[in-house]
Chains A and B, each alone.
Chain A
């Protein structure tokens, strides 16, 4: 049963944010894997090959922007859609995200409906 579920990698150093996002996504039929920083996300993405990555921007060791750039540079992971979770939704911040190759973004505090809609859109596409 689980093999048919789309897999989502959720990356956040905040346990609260991670729990919040996974609580929202658990309602939908997705298999979830988590990572707690950018570097860890690269390792998990390479091993798990998720269908989508949902990643916080501000994290220790490697930021979401850097991790996104690395993911898009790798042949193995460049096709995985990346949604960045940004603290600030200002234009320059969003532009920086898209320059790193992210496919979309959501702002904090995360709105459950918005998140689910964007995840559905990118996983379906």
Chain B
């Protein structure tokens, strides 16, 4: 009987021990599960946090994508604008080239006009010279005034500081010095017919303009000779103007001087001849 009781007690103890062990295992399992739940809770929170982060990243990514899209659209717009600007730039460059060419053409034309204007001004000035010379020569019948006018023309319009006015001697054909300025007082009063450049110019009836480079080859009296203008009337030479030294600032005989010489060749001859006739007529008129 005691054995039975002992067996029963062992059994109960065994059960108790088993239950205790089971309970402890269960408690351990519960503890483990608690820990697992806590870990899972922590993981869930981490994942939630991560999901939120991912959500934010996705949102940021979407915003970036939208920004990229708008930037691409802006880039496309700018690209189109660049193409338009390039086209406009090319058009402007063409226009600029056209305007530059037009400007160059205008400038060239302006220069042509300026040159033409200067040329016309020079012609006007030359004509004024000729007008003044002609007016002065024919403005009087007084021989003295004609001679003075001739000298003034040579001094002021040609720019000479030495000149002589010669008249052909009707008897000898030589040239007699009628008036002069700037020449030495002992200057020869007569030049023989055909003598030197002056005599030869008178004989030929042609204007002589001396070459300054050949001054040394000329006779001493004609070394400073610049020009000789025979004065002709109806094909007959009645005198001559010999222009010697020019003013220092006058570089040489110019076209306007040659035109003036041409004018003097005939007009001075006429003026001298008319004033001579007038002088001869004066006493007769006085007597009458």
Contacts and interface: CB of A to CB of B under 8 A. Distances in A.
Interface of A: 14-17, 19-20, 23-24, 27, 87-90, 107-113
Contacts of B136: 15-16, 19
A108 B132 contact: no
B247 A88 contact: yes
Contacts of A113: 118, 121-122, 125
A89 B152 contact: no
Contact of B161 (A15, A87, A110): A87
B125 A89 contact: no
Contacts of A16: 132-133, 136, 149, 152-153, 156-157
A27 B125 CA distance: 11
A20 B247 contact: no
Given A107-B247, A112-B121, A113-B121, A14 B155 contact: yes
Given A19-B132, A89-B248, A24 B125 contact: yes
Contacts of B250: 109
B158 interface: yes
Interface string B230-257: 0000000000000000011110000000
Given A15-B136, A16-B132, A20-B132, A108 B125 contact: no
A113 B125 CA distance: 9
A19 B135 contact: yes
B119 to A, nearest CB: 12
A19 B152 CA distance: 11
Nearest to B161: A87
B81 interface: no
In this complex, which of A16, A19, A24 has the most chain B Cβ atoms within 10 angstroms of its Cβ?
Answer: A16
13 contacts: A14-B156, A16-B136, A16-B153, A19-B135, A20-B157, A88-B247, A88-B248, A90-B248, A108-B159, A109-B156, A112-B125, A113-B121, A113-B125
B113 interface: no
A23 B131 contact: yes
Nearest to A12: B156
Interface in B114-168: 118, 121-122, 124-125, 128-129, 131-133, 135-136, 149, 152-153, 155-159, 161
A88 B160 CA distance: 11
A23 B156 CA distance: 14
Contacts of B122: 113
A16 B118 CA distance: 24
A125 to B, nearest CB: 23
Contact of A109 (B118, B131, B158, B248): B158
Contact of B159 (A24, A27, A109, A112): A109
Closest 6 A/B residue pairs (Cβ): A16-B152, A109-B159, A112-B125, A89-B249, A17-B156, A23-B128
A14 to B, nearest CB: 5
A108 B149 contact: no
Given A19-B132, A109-B156, A109-B159, A88 B249 contact: yes
A54 to B, nearest CB: 14
A108 B247 contact: yes
Contacts of B118: 113
B75 to A, nearest CB: 62
B125 A107 contact: no
Contacts of B124: 27, 112
A44 to B, nearest CB: 21
B132 A23 contact: yes
Nearest to B159: A109
B156 A20 contact: yes
Given A23-B131, A24-B125, A108 B156 contact: yes
In this complex, which of B122, B155, B156 has the most chain A Cβ atoms within 10 angstroms of its Cβ?
Answer: B156
